[in-house]
Amino acid sequence: MKTLIIIPAYNEAENIKNVVDNLAENFPQYDYIIINDSSKDDTEMICRQNNYNYLSLPINLGIGGGVQTGYKYALEHGYEIAVQHDGDGQHDPAYIEKVIQPILDGKADIVIGSRFLLGEGFQSSASRRAGIRFLSALIRVSCGARVKDVTSGFRAVNGRYIKFYVEDYPSDYPEPEAIVTASLNGARIQEVPVLMRERENGVSSINLKRSVYYMIKVSIAILVCRITGKKRRGRESR
């Protein structure tokens, strides 16, 4: 099945070359698109100089807007599977085949690469793990989806949910909310174990203040999705 790797990138000048070169040299069977989210550093220049396949957004849309742009590209170019793959070096492309396999087998619509199933590799800080466990429980109660690594940005979706996310994708810290909206619209969601690494260079945009905002915002968004029963055009995409 025709597969696209979506690489959202914001200020990843220190990482993007290693990420893309590794993907292009060792996994040429996959196409990719870099979504440069109006970076303030040299990310776009590096993409241009190396003739990478990329789109540059005129304004910063955040991770949700960047990923949704990738889904729009996938839909417009006829891709049957889209894989989110961060531009900071945390995701190992060697696991892409494992992440997409349940879709190829017809057993899942969405597959999430989880760092917690094996408990190996980079596990994030204790405070973040506690927050992730809370969100996982909230999602399970809200929509029945059993996902441990709800904030993982390493995930694959099939053609049906490429279209679904083109029509509606959360804009701000979208990963947990995207699980809820898809689950409420009948998506079959699986997790597969992957190993993740610490970001290669640079500093994460998630600090203490943002972490508190993240937890509050995402918790409210999940509850709103559950209360409103956000079932919509997903039925039409079946």
Q: At what angle do helices 126-143 and 208-228 cross, to 10 degrees?
A: 10
* pLDDT at residue 49 in the model: 98
Q: Count the domains in the chain.
A: 1
CB atoms within 10 A of CB 233: 11
Structural domain of 65: 3-235
pLDDT band at 216 (very low <50, low <70, confident <90, very high): confident
* 229 pLDDT higher than 70: no
* 175 pLDDT higher than 60: yes
List the CATH number of the domain containing 53: 3.90.550.10
| Stated pTM of the model | 0.88
* pLDDT at residue 235 in the model: 43
* pLDDT at residue 123 in the model: 57
* 226 pLDDT higher than 50: yes
* 232 pLDDT higher than 90: no
Render pLDDT for 39-91 as a digit per residue (tens, 0 to 9): 999 999 999 999 999 999 999 999 999 999 999 999 999 999 999 999 999 99
Q: One-letter amino acid identity for 85?
A: H
